[in-house]
């Protein structure tokens, strides 16, 4: 059987082609009816062995509080959905970081000329989950940090891998963890994730928020993002929370 690969999320022709070929938009139905999941290969991080925890991390806080982390790793739909399922995360918002607030608008950002990266702002309770644990999720299941200026089918600097740190502790933890993962050769290729200061975060348009929840059967979501949630549950069960 031929392998059908969906193009990027804006390629409506590819989505329509998928529906025409398989007769439905539900990937779950596709698996059930055709039993050929092996013909569809989603992009996912490739690493060997158990994924290591960060050697340098902040301790769990002694009381409830709110802190934020801003991460970029390709299309924000999947990143947001992954972190909404992480213990200790209160909410995650899709948005834009790395460019001017004046040009933080989807169609403009999609040109790749504004300096923005599609990003997610994660609000979490540091008494339940640490910044380093959030980075573990980011590197282990949320995206592939070895892909430069792309993520799976989506290409351009707006889809780059980046950590936007808010303070010196976040910078220290992020840089140390990347060095640790590279030295351990966790991936077959070098990590290309940028570690840069957070200047601004602009929320994305309303229709981008909770996109996976609102469009669970869209082919792009099923193909690219549902496997990330499955990987989170299977590989990092101690950090996974259901809805």
Residue-wise DSSP of 76-91: HHHHHHHHHTBTTEEE
Is residue 217 helix, strand or coil? coil
Neighbours of 142 (CB within 10 A): 30
Closest alpha carbon to 67 in 208, 231, 198, 213:
198
Q: Name the residues annotated as catalytic.
A: 75
Q: Which residue blocks in 44-191 are alpha helix, DSSP H?
A: 76-84, 106-109, 131-137, 168-183
Tokens found for residue 117 = 């990266």
Q: How far apart are CA 212 and CA 82, in angstroms?
A: 10
Identify which of 163, 188, 183, 204 has the alpha carbon closest to the alpha carbon of residue 68: 163
Calculate Rg over the CA atoms of the chain. Answer: 18
């Amino acid at each position: 059987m031929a392998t059908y690969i969906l193009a990027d999320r804006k390629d409506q022709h590819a989505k329509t082609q998928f529906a025409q070929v398989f007769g439905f938009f539900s990937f779950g139905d596709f698996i059930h009816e055709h039993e050929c999941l092996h013909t569809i290969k989603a992009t996912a991080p490739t690493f060997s062995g158990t994924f290591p925890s960060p050697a340098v991390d902040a301790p769990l806080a002694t009381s409830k509080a709110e802190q934020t982390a801003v991460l970029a790793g390709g299309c924000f739909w999947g990143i947001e959905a992954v972190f909404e399922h992480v213990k200790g995360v209160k909410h995650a918002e899709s948005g834009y970081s790395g460019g001017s607030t004046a040009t933080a608008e989807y169609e403009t950002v999609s040109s790749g000329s504004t300096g923005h990266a599609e990003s997610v702002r994660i609000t979490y309770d540091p008494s339940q989950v640490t910044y380093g644990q959030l980075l573990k999720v980011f590197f282990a299941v949320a995206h592939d940090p070895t892909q430069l200026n792309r993520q799976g089918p989506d290409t351009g600097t707006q889809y780059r891998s980046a950590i936007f740190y808010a303070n010196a502790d976040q910078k220290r933890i992020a840089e140390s963890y990347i060095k640790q993962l590279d030295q351990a050769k966790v991936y077959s290729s070098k990590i290309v994730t940028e570690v840069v200061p957070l200047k601004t975060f602009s929320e994305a348009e309303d229709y981008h928020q909770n996109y996976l929840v609102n469009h669970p059967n869209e082919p792009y979501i099923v193909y690219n993002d549902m496997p990330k949630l499955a990987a989170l549950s299977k590989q990092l069960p101690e950090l996974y929370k259901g809805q």
